Amino acid sequence: MTIRTVETTPYDDQKPGTSGLRKKVPVFQQKNYAENFIQSVFDSLDGFSGKALVIGGDGRYYNREVIQKAIAIAAANGFGKVIVGKGGILSTPAASHIIRKYMAFGGLVLSASHNPGGPHEDFGIKYNIGNGGPAPEKITDAIFARTKAITSYKIADMAEVDIDRIGTVQAGGMTVEVIDPVEDYAELMETLFDFDAIRAMFAGGFRMRFDAMHAVTGPYAKEILENRLGAPKGTARNFVPLPDFGGHHPDPNLVHAKHLYDEMMGPDAPDFGAASDGDGDRNLIIGKGIFITPSDSLAMLAANARLAPGYEAGLKGIARSMPTSAAADRVAEALGVGIYETPTGWKFFGNLLDAGMATICGEESAGTGSDHVREKDGLWAVLLWLNILAVRKESAKAIAEKHWATYGRNYYSRHDYEEVESDAANRLVSELRAKLPSLPGTKVRGLTVEAADDFAYHDPVDGSVSKNQGIRVLFEGGSRFVIRLSGTGTSGATLRLYVERYEKDRFDLDTQQALADLIAAADDVAGIRSHTGRQKPSVIT
Ligand code: G6P
Ligand code: ZN
Read off the pLDDT of each residue in 144-162 and give the average, rounded to a whole number.
Answer: 97
- Average pLDDT, stretch 136-161? 96
Distance from the alpha carbon of residue 89 to the mean position of ligand 2, in angstroms = 14
Task: Give residue 135's identity as a one-letter amino acid code.
Answer: A
Q: Which DSSP string do the residues of 480-541 spell out, in sequence order?
A: EEEEEE-SS-SSSEEEEEEEEEEESS---S-HHHHTHHHHHHHHHHH-HHHHH--SS-SEE-
Superfamily holding 2-179: Alpha-D-Glucose-1,6-Bisphosphate, subunit A, domain 3 (3.40.120.10)
Q: Which atom of ligand 1 is nearest to the CA of 487?
A: 14
Using one digit for the tens of pLDDT, what is the confidence trace for 202-251?
999 999 999 999 999 999 999 999 999 999 999 999 999 999 999 999 99
The interface pTM score, or ipTM, of the predicted complex is 0.96
Residue 77 has pLDDT above 70, yes or no: yes
Going by their DSSP bridges, the two strands 283-287 and 272-276 should be labelled as antiparallel
- β-partners of residue 125 are 21, 110
Distance CA 112, CA 284 (A): 18
Confidence at residue 312, expressed as pLDDT on a 0 to 100 scale: 98
Kindly give the number of the ligand 1 atom that is closest to the alpha carbon of 321: 10
How far apart are alpha carbons 473 and 80 in whole angstroms? Answer: 51
Measure 338 CA to ligand 1 centroid, in angstroms: 23
pLDDT given for residue 136 in this prediction: 87
C-alpha to C-alpha distance for 140 and 13, rounded to whole angstroms? 13
CA torsion sign, 294 to 19 to 369 to 286? positive
The pLDDT value given to residue 490: 64
> What ranges do the domains of the chain cover?
2-179, 185-407, 409-540
Please write the tens of the pLDDT for every residue from 155-172.
999 999 999 999 999 999
Topology adopted by domain 185-407: Alpha-D-Glucose-1,6-Bisphosphate; Chain A, domain 3 (3.40.120)
Q: Which of 58, 213, 218, 42 is nearest to 123 (CA)?
A: 58
What's the pLDDT score for residue 18? 67
The whole-angstrom separation of Cα 502 and Cα 349 is 25
- Count other C-beta atoms under 10 Å from residue 344's C-beta: 25
* Ligand 1 pocket residue status of 39, Cβ below 6 Å: no
pLDDT at 441 over 90: yes
pLDDT band at 17 (very low <50, low <70, confident <90, very high): confident
User: Is the CB of 368 inside a 6 Å radius of any atom of ligand 1?
Assistant: no
In this prediction, residue 1 carries a pLDDT of 76
Same fold, 2-179 and 185-407: yes
pLDDT of residue 492: 85
Percent of the chain with pLDDT over 70: 99
Q: What ligand is nearest to the CA atom of residue 378?
A: 2
Higher pLDDT, 490 or 278: 278
The whole-chain average pLDDT of the chain stands at: 96
> Helix 378-392 to helix 396-407 angle, to the nearest 10 degrees?
90
For 362-415, how does the pLDDT look when each residue is reduced to its tens digit (9 = 90+)? 999 999 999 999 999 999 999 999 999 999 999 999 999 999 999 999 999 999
The residue nearest atom 4 of ligand 1, judged by CA position, is 345
Q: What architecture does CATH give domain 409-540?
A: 2-Layer Sandwich (3.30)
Contacts of 398 (CB under 8 A, 6+ apart): none
